A and B are shown apart, each in its own frame.
Chain A
Amino acid sequence: MIRNYDKLIFELSKEGRAGYSLPKKEIEGYCMCCGLPENLKRESKPELPEVTEFDVVRHYTNLSNKNFGVDTGFYPLGSCTMKYNPRINEEMAAHPSFVNLHPELPVECAQGALEVYYNLANSLAEISGLSAFTLNPYAGAHGELTGLMIMRQYHIQRGDLKRTKVIVPDSAHGTNPASAAVCGLQIVEVKSTANGTVDVEDLKPLLDDTIAGIMMTNPNTLGIFETEIPEISRLVHECGGLLYYDGANLNAVLGKCRPGDMGFDIMHINLHKTFSTPHGGGGPGDGPVGVRAGLEQLLPNPQVKKDSEGKFYICTDDKSAGYVSNFLGNFAVIARAYTYILTLGRENVKMVGPLAVLNANYVKESLKNEYYLPIEGVCKHEFVFDGLADKSTGVTTLDIAKRLLDYGYHAPTIYFPLLFHQSIMIEPTETESKETLDEFIAVMKKVAQEAIENPDIVKSAPHSTPVRRLDETTAARFPKTTYRQMKG
């Protein structure tokens, strides 16, 4: 490995080099340069790199060495479910019979692909206790937006136009209120109780005929199961609203209980969390949306169905909430998630939640003397510490996160949820072994010890990473976001 590799691809460029091979021109007499009118042609030359194929391979391999993935090491990033991403999923997603399918293919030429879509949608419905799923939304946030569109359409089609508010818990992820706003809904925040769950007494006065619904995760962002969910469901439905389930934390209850059985009407699932598709450095994911019986027609168009002869077809529904994507979502991601479900099978899907929850509780109980645990009790797939137990050291959550990088770990999610000042949110997932967790626990304890004995080494961490702490202020004040700007 080349240490300290610091070149940009542009800095490798040398005029005259090329990294492509294209077929020879077989058709003469059709010259673009003479055929295209001058005023439609580009005036400037795009400054793209001129490099060889081998330059490109080395360059990006070196860049990859500056990255940390689940394949590299333990990645306890709370709320992101960084579980193992099996390679058989990749192999099936790259299956040559699927990758070259154009979305405009006649349906009779794409029966295999449609079957994958249809079967995954049905599997998700079974797993979540809902009636039907669309796989069209591209990501979790996109699924949220789609789900809220369905919620609004439900009220609009009943002629109930007053319902323009959605209730969101104060512990919710930032995308919840942001998605609601993009969907034209106003946000009403409901408070959490001291033990982190939705305060039902605070909820009651908020419920009136302007409420479209409530967005919740269960377990919530603190990793605590909302045991009052049957009562919340009753209250919200009684006022005429719908319950939206943010599937970010579905891994916790996978196989143990189902959002549909909890009373939720609409939900999204993050295939890149619960169903093991890779996060890809921030995408592509896929954000399927499910609905309870009676709301199926509202799912976005186009929709995939099966006829009485077992043939799959694509259709649209006039009552649909609309179109949210180019076609049928990120098909290659859908193929990965389906492969994962087939690999687990009915006998193993039900073990995902229990083992994820076991891992989380094991880490929590092992570290609660060194780190401050604001809410005691059994957690679900994740839990939150509010910084170190010893508050006298001056070592912050940020410092702890950075020190963990030195020890070869990705940091947990930090400063979220916003309910605490020094949140450290840890989600180990079910694919980590006891040995991995034991090593992590030992390192977390060591960092807590360092915070007391040698706080400076923690405060100035990381020390061993490709780069150290960054000047984010200058980056934001004088933004340089392209090579051209960087050169000045």
Chain B
Amino acid sequence: MKYFPHTQDDIEQMLATAGLKSMDDLFGEIPEQLLFKREFDLPEAMSEVEIRKFFDALGKKNSQLVCFAGAGVEDHYAPSIINPIISRGEFLTAYTPYQPEISQGTLQYIFEYQSMICELTGMDVTNASMYDGCTATAEAMMMCVAAAKKRNKVLVSATMNPKVKRVVETYAFYNGVVVETVAEKDGVTDLADLQNKLNGDDVAGVILAQPNFYGIVEDYSGVAEMCHAKKALMVMNANPSALAVLKTPAEWGADIACGDGQTLGIPMNYGGPYVGYLACTNSLVRKLPGRIVGSTTDVDGKRAFVLTLQAREQHIRREKANSNICSNQSLMALYVTIYMSLMGHKGLKEVNKLSYAGAHYLAEQLVATGKCAMVYDKPFLNEFAVRTTVCPKKIQTALLEKGILGGVRIADDMLLFCVTEQRSKAEIDLLVETVKNL
């Protein structure tokens, strides 16, 4: 077996040094009835040749489609140099930077990641990343409750992606936190309902989405003031790619920004790995969970980076820690750091412009078919909902036959379409043509 270096001779010598006679002696203290004696019901070992064929065959059972689906996961351009860099063994096979003297590579890219996330969100500080956008939002919810001390209610807008909401609700349930939904009105958060719910003076935080689940860019003017007047924190779950052009969570007055970094060029990978981000104002830094990297110097005065503010974390505080998160999503943080470095603000803006143009063109063309109508008349970037006169399932099936993943069905008569910079005019036209011909 190529992963086991032991020769029979090695084994005998090593056993002798350990004062043992046989390999079984290594487990001599284990009660007999606990020992596993039969063969595993697993396939026999495969060579690389066989494994490649095996995965090729499995891969054929997946359909490779032109993607017009979003709902939190978008098909963005992934620059070719990212994978070769993050595959370098020095990055890929390191663990969390416990020994900073030989982990400056990891520590510095996390510092750069933190810097870039703060630039996009406008927030003061962020941690070294979270698992995904859902768990980052759940952690934001817990930060609100921890900061408020005696309040255990959190409001989530009905315009939040339900996949995010259900994770927040799961975490909340076990924490004894009450989650209430703020109603939506015309596709956006109903601010009158929000004010009403804040008036109970028992809300720790309000979690909003930008753009929201329907792709709408919501106008949150005055919302921070509403929240802060009632001593509630404002949390904004925002698409980081869109923040290159949209008013930032900080500019809206949010206390916490969170979301999923998948839109920063991470392949869709059937759901993961992605990277969650969680950023906040300076006043909340001690409530932030997870790793944080700070700059410092070494004994020779050289600039260096190190894990800092560790007194918040589980390995020091155990059950009193801010969260149970141990590590971060480091390699994916590196992924998006390289992506943001390559794109710069101009590249990100260009991505948004192209996606915007494609999405608005598609929306107009779909409406022109007479089979779709815009559900909401609100500003959007690259995603929008349509109400269909034909059964959405029928539309999706027809599109599948043309090799197109035709949006996400969000209601019995509604489809959510997403367009990225990767979608060509020809692909959009084929989609429209197919719908028109139904």
Q: Residues 462-488 of chain A: 1 if any B CB is under 8 Å from the residue's CB, otherwise 0? A: 100111111110111001111111100
Contact: B79 with A20, CB < 8 Å?
Answer: yes
Contacts of A183 in B (CB 8 A): 174-175
Interchain CA distance A49-B354 in the complex, whole Å:
21
A116 to B55, CA, bound (A): 9
| Cβ-defined contact, A48 with B344, below 8 A | yes
User: Which of B30-38, B228-236, B368-376, B384-392 touches A?
Assistant: B30-38
| Chain A residues with CB below 8 A from B273, complex form | 138, 283-284, 330-333
Can you give 21 A-B contacts (C-beta < 8 A)? A22-B350, A25-B354, A60-B109, A100-B267, A102-B67, A109-B400, A110-B270, A127-B40, A141-B324, A141-B327, A175-B314, A183-B175, A256-B35, A279-B94, A281-B331, A283-B330, A283-B331, A326-B274, A405-B99, A430-B3, A481-B295
Give which listed residue, B166, B274, B357, contacts A322 with CB less than 8 A. Answer: B166
Q: Is the CB of A342 within 8 A of B104?
A: no
Instruction: List residues 265-312 of chain B with CB under 8 A from any CB of chain A.
Output: 267-275, 285, 291-300, 302-304, 306, 308-311
Q: A174-B316, A472-B308 are in contact. Are A378 and B104 (CB under 8 A)?
A: no
Near A by CB (< 8 A), chain B positions 2-52 give 3-6, 10-11, 13-15, 17-20, 23, 25-31, 33-36, 39-46, 48, 51-52
For the complex of A and B, list the 4 residue pairs with the smallest distance between their C-beta atoms, beginning with the closest. A97-B59, A345-B45, A71-B89, A327-B271
Complex interface: chain A residues within 8 A of B48 (CB): 88, 343
Provided the pairs A46-B120, A281-B91 are in contact, do residues A348 and B4 lie with their beta carbons within 8 angstroms?
yes
Tell me whether B328 is interfacial, beta carbon within 8 Å. yes
Give the shortest distance, in Å, between A270 (CB) and chain B (any CB). Answer: 10
Residue among A28, A109, A349, A475 having the largest count of chain B Cβ atoms under 10 Å: A475
Asked whether B101 lies within 8 Å of A475 as measured between CB atoms, the reply is: no
Taken together as a complex, chains A and B put the C-alpha atoms of A332 and B111 apart, in Å, by 25
Q: Which of A35-43, A203-211, A289-297, A446-454 participates in binding chain B?
A: A35-43
**Assuming A63-B104, A65-B105, A279-B96, is B302 touching A6 (CB within 8 A)?**
yes
**Distance of A280 from chain B, by nearest CB (Å):** 3
Q: How large, as a class, is the contact surface on chain A?
A: 35 or more
The 8 Å CB contact of A61, one of B85, B163, B221, B396, is B85
Residues A42 and B251 in contact, CB atoms below 8 Å apart: yes
Complex interface bits, A44-83 against B, C-beta within 8 A gives 1, otherwise 0: 1111111101001101110111111111100101001011
- Assess the A103–B44 pair: CB atoms within 8 A: no
- B246 CB to nearest chain A CB (Å): 6
Q: Which residues of B contact A313 (CB under 8 A)?
A: none
| B135 CB to nearest A CB, Å | 7
| CA distance in complex: A325, B171 (Å) | 11
Q: How far is the CB of B42 from chain A (nearest CB, A)?
A: 4
The answer to whether B318 and A178 touch across the interface, beta carbons within 8 angstroms, is yes
Is A123 an interface residue, CB under 8 A from the partner?
yes
**A278 at the B interface (CB under 8 A):** yes
